Amino acid sequence: MGRYLVTGGAGYVGSHLVLALLDAGHQVTVYDNLRQGHTQAVLPPATLIQADLADRITLDCTLADGPWDAVFHFAALSLVGESMQRPFFYLAENAGLGIGLIDSCVRHGVSKFVLSSTANLFGNPQRIPIDEAEHIEPGSPYGESKLMLERALFWADRIHGLRSACLRYFNAAGADSQGRLGEDHNPETHLIPLVIDAALGRRQEIAVFGQDYPTPDGTCIRDYIHVADLAQAHLRALDALDHRSVTYNLGNGAGHSVMDVIRTVEQVSGRAVPVRMADRRAGDPAVLVAGSDLLRRETGWAPRFDALPTIVAHALAWREAHAGGYEKK
Q: Which helix (H) or strand (E) holds 221?
A: strand 221-222
Give me the phi and psi of 256, to 5 degrees please: -130, 135
Dihedral, CA of residue 252, residue 255, residue 259 and residue 263, to nearest 10: -40
Q: Is residue 211 at the binding interface for ligand UDP, with CB under 6 A as the rule?
A: no
Q: Is-catalytic flag, 142? A: yes
Helix-then-strand count for the chain, H and E: 11, 14
Residue-level length of the chain: 329
Q: Is residue 206 at the binding interface for ligand UDP, with CB under 6 A as the rule?
A: yes
The one-letter code for the residue type at 306 is D
Residue 37 vs 255, nearer CB to ligand UDP: 255
From the list 107-115, 158-166, 190-198, 239-247, the region that binds ligand UDP by CB under 6 A is 190-198
Shortest distance (Å) from residue 310 CB to ligand UDP:
18
Other Cβ atoms closer than 10 A to 150: 17
Partner residues linked to 324 by β-bridges: 328
Furthest C-alpha separation in the chain = 56
Site for ligand UDP in 4-63 (CB under 6 A): none
The rounded distance, in Å, linking the Cα atoms of 95 and 155 is: 14
Residue 91 vs 207, nearer CB to ligand UDP: 207
Which DSSP category does 328 fall into? B
Q: What DSSP assignment string belongs to 137-197?
A: B-SSHHHHHHHHHHHHHHHHHHHH--EEEEEEE-EEE---TTSS-----SS---HHHHHHH
Which DSSP category does 40 fall into? G
Residue 5 vs 192, nearer CB to ligand UDP: 192
From the list 12-20, 127-135, 204-212, 238-246, the region that binds ligand UDP by CB under 6 A is 204-212
Shortest distance (Å) from residue 53 CB to ligand UDP:
23
Binding mask 91-130 toward ligand UDP (x if CB under 6 A, else -) reads ----------------------------------------
Write down the catalytic residue from 4, 12, 31, 142.
142
CA distances from 185 to 38, 80, 167 (A): 10, 14, 21
Q: Is residue 209 at the binding interface for ligand UDP, with CB under 6 A as the rule?
A: yes
Shortest distance (Å) from residue 97 CB to ligand UDP:
22
What's the Rg (C-alpha) of the chain?
Answer: 19
Among residues 33, 58, 189, 310, the one that binds ligand UDP under rule CB under 6 A: 189
Binding mask 218-257 toward ligand UDP (x if CB under 6 A, else -) reads --x-x-----------------------------------
Residue 171 vs 249, nearer CB to ligand UDP: 171
Residue 32 vs 223, nearer CB to ligand UDP: 223
Q: Is residue 287 at the binding interface for ligand UDP, with CB under 6 A as the rule?
A: no
Residues with a known catalytic role: 142
Q: Which residues bind ligand UDP (CB under 6 A)?
A: 80, 171, 189-191, 194, 206-209, 220, 222, 258, 281, 284
